[in-house]
Amino acid sequence: MLVNAKEMLLKAREEGYAVGQFNINNLEWTKAIIETAQENNSPVILGVSEGAGKYMGGFKTVVGMVNGMLEELNITVPVAIHLDHGSFEGAKSAMQAGFSSVMFDGSHYQIDENITKTLDIIEIANENNISVEAEVGSIGGEEDGVVGAGEVADPNECKKIADLGVSMLAAGIGNIHGKYPENWTGLNFDVLKQIQDITSGMPLVLHGGTGIPNDMVTESISLGVSKINVNTECQIVFTEATRIYFEEGKDKVGKGFDPRKVLAPGYQAIKDVVKEKMELFGSINKA
Ligand SMILES: [Zn+2]
């Protein structure tokens, strides 16, 4: 069932677990994630970056594919299609295409401009029953050349953005996209606690879920994190499983060249990671 992410995250916030956002890249990923959610009776958020949306043939294609699957696979658990790190224009076009949730990432603007643009997005979202994620304190990543600690958000700026009426808030607390460097100093729980206190009840979002040690994940959930983004890990296991298929020469045996056979191990690898994360986040049987 396609829903916005607001209610599922408020329930998670209240009951002390987190909902996973798993980014999708194609049909196999989408099906693997949706089916795993259904099998484990878990809510789920499908993350779509602007680049992945373009890759899959556009936002409308993504919405059509997901809606078709929800119907034909008899999916009854809550599923949201969420734009990940959307630009201002990207968020507007995703909403127009039928996304049930969008992130407007205005973290690279000055706080005042971030506020004005976030308000514009919220207005359109409210008219269409769409949830909105905003970001304060940009989250680092390898692509930005960041090593060591990621940026840490200012709790007062978090409150300003939370008070605008967003459904969820991403705040940098030392988390990083992609693989974590060896000298990473860990999550800043003092700041997370301050953000939780000052934004009372707002579901918080943890980006860069790949590579954060399990005990840190659990502690962040206890401090108000209700949505955790997982992307890199699915990419790594998918590619690894696919590589092994070729290394073992399975493509040369019988009809091993059939693309459905080639992609099957990667599909299963994604399912395994998604289930493992749902167990860690505590979202199983919470649909
Ligand atoms: Zn992110």
Tell me if 89 sits within 8 A of 54, measured CB to CB. Answer: no
Give tens-digit pLDDT for 116-146: 999 999 999 999 999 999 988 777 665 444 4
Using CB atoms within 10 Å of the CB of residue 144, give its burial: 0 to 12 exposed, 13 to 18 middle, 19+ buried: middle
* Residue 42 lies inside a defined structural domain of this protein: yes
pTM of this structure:
0.95
Q: For the chain, what percent of residues have pLDDT higher than 70?
A: 96
| Residue 148 binned pLDDT confidence (cut-offs 50, 70, 90) | low
| pLDDT(285) > 60 | yes
| pLDDT(147) > 70 | no
Average pLDDT over residues 32-57: 97
Task: Provide the domain limits for residue 105.
Answer: 6-281
| Residue 182 binned pLDDT confidence (cut-offs 50, 70, 90) | confident
| Residue 183 binned pLDDT confidence (cut-offs 50, 70, 90) | confident
Active site residues: 84
Mean pLDDT, the chain, integer: 93
CA of 142 relative to ligand 1 center, distance in Å: 12
Overall number of domains in the chain: 1
Tell me if 262 sits within 8 A of 256, measured CB to CB. Answer: yes
| pLDDT(111) > 90 | no
Confidence (pLDDT) at 140: 66
CA of 205 relative to ligand 1 center, distance in Å: 9
| Residue 201 binned pLDDT confidence (cut-offs 50, 70, 90) | confident
Average pLDDT over residues 105-112: 86
Confidence (pLDDT) at 86: 95
Cβ neighbors of 64 (< 8 A, separation 6 or more) are none
Give tens-digit pLDDT for 24-35: 999 999 999 999
CATH number of residue 90's parent domain:
3.20.20.70
CB atoms within 10 A of CB 140: 23
* Residue 287 lies inside a defined structural domain of this protein: no
- Lookup result for tokens 């936002």: 59
CA of 262 relative to ligand 1 center, distance in Å: 30
* Residue 1 lies inside a defined structural domain of this protein: no
- Lookup result for tokens 């399990």: 214
The answer for 229, left when phi > 0, alpha when psi is -120 to 50, beta otherwise, is beta
Cβ neighbors of 91 (< 8 A, separation 6 or more) are 83, 102, 103, 104, 121
* Residue 140 lies inside a defined structural domain of this protein: yes
Tell me if 283 sits within 8 A of 78, measured CB to CB. Answer: no
Amino acid, single-letter form, for residue 112: D
CA of 71 relative to ligand 1 center, distance in Å: 29
Give tens-digit pLDDT for 240-263: 999 999 999 999 999 999 999 999
| pLDDT(43) > 80 | yes
CA of 72 relative to ligand 1 center, distance in Å: 30
CA of 180 relative to ligand 1 center, distance in Å: 14
* Residue 196 lies inside a defined structural domain of this protein: yes
Confidence (pLDDT) at 143: 45
CA of 246 relative to ligand 1 center, distance in Å: 32
Confidence (pLDDT) at 151: 78
Confidence (pLDDT) at 283: 98
